[in-house]
Structure 1
């Protein structure tokens, strides 16, 4: 947590919480007076067991944890499901085959996925689904639509789909209509790591990769994160990629579909206000106004004045959490955590 706070991260989501993770988090929380030095939400990892009973039991465990852990430290928001793999290893679920001719099936079939999603939705859990391939995100939306039909209208659902690296043309509009959040990570489209990704698709699909603009045009909420620890956690290089589609590792590389780059103000909003909304923290985090948590960072550079390159050169001078400099917030946290 010290490292995250030093980099200007004041809130994080654990997107695959397990029993050992939970024990470790609760131990830190206990030593820190019942809270944590930063805001943490978590989604309980639910993996397909092969039986309806096993799947239901995993959801029920998440329901119990959701009711038991509501903050102000750790908050367990819901469940995380993995619908497919990744494009680089040809394990993402795609409508059309990869360049090598393979076309793997999703990790869940529709009936099994729908049963889990419907059970979690009925209990008021937030559902997050890893879906990278275009067939995976379509399947995830099918399951969410079925859950809404089964459980009936509710004032507000706030489910989310993670990654959405490739989507069919209908997905952005379906996502917006259902109120599902597009949770995306600019770091994954860094041109320095795209050669294999593009080669595995090998066709026109690469030109619609990471289609942030399509989600925005459809009216969907787009929340930006870093996908740490799978990818680097530093938010500033992530924002450089978001605003340029260029590489934070090697800025001289050609931009990756630059037409999908965001304006600086849009990228900052999606990484702060909209990311907070995606976690149910709106009004408290992601904004600077009376009554909010007073989380903010002070940089030694200004991207709004100096352009996106400032995201690469600026350094975090101060991180403030709940109105306190993070050094004070960490005073009682044991070293090594």
Structure 2
């Protein structure tokens, strides 16, 4: 369509060739009224079809499934995508209201306004929106057990605990929800498989699988290794699946370990092993790669009698042999002679454990004591 000319003023009286009325301004060789009547501001198909997933509520548009922000916003998006405006229209404004004919059909009344050649043009039209329920690609894959990555949750040189598994699954949910909100429709877990050595999560996308693994390691520490395997081709391209093996640290809070000549109670293990040196009560940290041996845990501790305190040394009654053992007084010890203290007996010897939080003694068993 040729570009609409701007109004042309004339010094003498002229007549519109269509309606015969006098006019001093012409728009595409017509008067104002005839030009406005001749303009088709909006073209809209009589029927607009929208495919909505009955499972998750996503809808299909422009060749892909997206999350629906709401019925009205979905209608607005599809109407805007389906209508065609006059090529010279400026400042186009669309509005509409819908009438429900039945749960799958809506009669939509559309009103539009725009500026063409400095004239305000308005128009109305109707269309019918038809809803078709169709399971989306993501829900189909979830139902079919689809996965692109396996996230293996294990622990180094021990079995992963139920508490750790629960933490990992919570972290996975948080990360997957965040990825899904950013548009990754395959950020889901289609299956959780419990094994003797740990748990496997079957994740819908390779990127999501890697990011969940990284999130777990960032929060809980540990290492990961990733391997891939060719599973087929699609449209001439190779399709791969990955296995992301996450291994949580060997030591957990409350473990007692021998590291580089020191016996410590572990407080946290990430890229380093953090804890308290049980010989003097000083907080220490070691690189996770240094040689270390697990001697036991707080669950193995028992109570013993603190026989005497002599300056920087203490005497403790061995709970098994009932012999007096001389130990260096650790900084965390605030008990008085004759009190019960918490001890653990290891191949490295007998050691006192922190009793309560902040040096405050607690009348509880060693297995229930709180770490400093």
TM-score scaled by structure 2? 0.19
Larger helix fraction of residues:
1
TM-score scaled by structure 1? 0.20
Larger RCO: 1 or 2 (CA < 8 Å, sep 6+)? 1
- Pick the structure with greater CA Rg: 2
